[in-house]
Structure 1
Amino acid sequence: MARPVKWRNACWEGDHKHLPVEVELDGRAVRPWVTWFIDCARNAITGAAVTPHQPSRDAVLAALRIALSRDESGGPYGPIGGLPELVRVDRGKEFLCATVTRALGALAVPVQDLPARRPELKGTVENLNHCVVDMFLVAQPGYLHAPAATTGPRARPGDLDGLLSFTEFTARLLDWVQWWNTEHRPQPLGGRTPLQAWQDDPTPIEDVPPALLRSFTLEDAGGDKVLSTKGVYWRGRYYVGPWMHGMDGTRVRVRFVPHHDHEIEVFDAATGAYLGPAHLANAATAAQRAALRRAKDAQRRTMVRALVSADRQRRRLGRYGAVTVPGRPEPLAALTVAEAEDQLAAAAGAGSALAKRALPDLIPPREAPPSWARPIRRSPPAAPGTDAGPPSSGANEEEAEEGGRR
């Protein structure tokens, strides 16, 4: 049963969509995700964010910030936006995380938690997920469900030939979002575009002040920081900004977008006023990050090959021959004494190397303070049938002393 049509900003629906298309990013083929919100009454896309990997809190907050703000001067959303009365999502952990709940709760926007695996309960955004595939992605290079050519080899997944870059694909997707809002005419709107239906609706729009939007869509680092000549210290690194000149000793609070640790937002701790952004000092260059990623990829491949080899040898050592009469089966793996000793020595060497890296004796334990109660050492009970004399007077004095300390 369809829900009754209401007014603009009465309800938004939000969702992730793993797009069936490959794009090129840093020499790799990736499948992007889109996170977006749509107004249920006017079918207008209020905000969207694209990530080259599975989205997390930062993607949701980015799309939410775009949706809440109103771009009056143009852009893919135009004047569409404002403060909704309700946001409807499913049980996605990113949508229901504490950051999003806190951000919407601070703006007095309730979040309706729908049951999992019930797409019909948020049909507006699910219809948008189908439309972006049928109306946009099928015509893009790298579409994964395109029919294969009758002649010539089929392109393998991961090939970069003919793929769009991530930047170009994002530009095309946002152009399609603008086309959806300004030119597309859905059947429920009676021949109007979502923008026309939005502008024809006389319902007042409640705008979010930019200061609140900047504050409540970020996570608080917790605790006050002090500005110094090196900048603001956060998570073991310094962040600097040109506006910090002459503000040494000022107590500030740090807010940040999750997973975006290259930049933070700084606020005055006393008044809560926004001071400005701060960027990571001595940040690594793009070439250094690429070299580090290649080194980590090579390390991962080496470890995967070692794991596969160890698993293959384990299975080989566990194989036995078939028997036709009762008896112990014979192992099929043939090993010389030298081969077995070499492999055992290599395994022991790997374990000892990890044990050496642990450095258990780096910081020896300190002697217990004299005020601590120590356990009483009692003599073991005598065996049955033996004569056990009374404990010595020294032992009684020692026990009495220990009891007095306790």
Structure 2
Amino acid sequence: MSFSRIFGIFHLFTEQEITSILTELPYIEHVLIEHLLDSLRELPDVHAELAQSELTVQATGRVDAKIDLHIAGRSIVLLVEVRKSVYPRDVRQVLWQLKSVQHRHHADVQHLLIAESLSPGAKELLRAERIGYFDSGGSLFLPGSSAYIYIDKPVPKTLEKSVRSLFSGRRAQVLYALLVNHEEWFGVTEVAERAQVAPSTASDVLSELERFDWLVSRGQGPSKERHLREPSALLDAWVKQFAAQRAPVLRRYFVPGLKSDALIERLGQMFDAHHIAYAVSYEAAAQRYAPFLSGISQVRVRLLPSTSTETAIAELGARVVNEGANLAVIETKSAGELLFRQNVEGVWLASPVQVYLDLLRGEGRAKEMAEHLRKERIGF
């Protein structure tokens, strides 16, 4: 964005006043304030101007901009605070300040929090407290007494990318470790060991989760411990991200003469004999964790490819098919994808969390089965 374009929003001021404001405000604040003004001016019968008394410091905190807003003949003064990104934890930290500033003024003076990115949870909290907000994606909430504006747009790509990376790769292994052990307190080193990741990776993930206000902590320094107080919120967020990810590639086989229970037992014996790391998932695993369906037509299994994989599958008597498969194989990229599997009656099953997520991609009554598993086995 050019300097001249940013400069244009300050057309109401003298050259000396503009220089003073530009010296005080960081570049990103110029861009966000201009974006806010543009968005307001695009609304019907709305006029918005940047007021001269912009850089005001209140007793309870800084006001980065003051905007005179006129909507259908009614006037509102917006006191704007700018932040780079806002998560639920940030909202709770500043909420008392925003409300205090707001309550010091007339009803037609409102506080507005603007940021490059506002997480969905932060927006929800701000709406509940009737605090206005705006982000770089164009979402706008203005709960005025004389005008109510609510525009909800997709989260900015920067936040979307950050959240998406949290639920993939080695970072996802940390999430599995937290959900599987959600009732425990743990340090960075402990969770890193359980998730089989570097302590730096575990630390990064824990910091991100704290920003979402899903963790609580106690202690300081090396002895600091965390506890996942919102496992349900974390899993719900994962479900949304999981739905957007590409479904895994399935290798389909037909094994003659074996129904699902016998097939599970047989492939478990065969894979163990050939030292192949595997975990049964989807309906077949869910049925063993929390019975729901009267019968299972297909067994889906995740396994870590090895030189023995084809031999074991051949010894099962499996043949490749395009239709009518009763066995589907998903080849994992690393051993980390099989973490937290459980041995149930001699067969390795994927963790209930993994099975739940897999079922949400399934067909038929898989989604019903997923909710049954979450209620009966996962418990949150």
TM-score (norm 1): 0.21
- Larger Rg: 1 or 2? 1
Structure having the higher strand fraction is 2
Structure 2 length as normaliser, TM-score?
A: 0.22
More helix by share: 2
* Relative contact order, higher structure (CA 8 A, sep 6+): 1
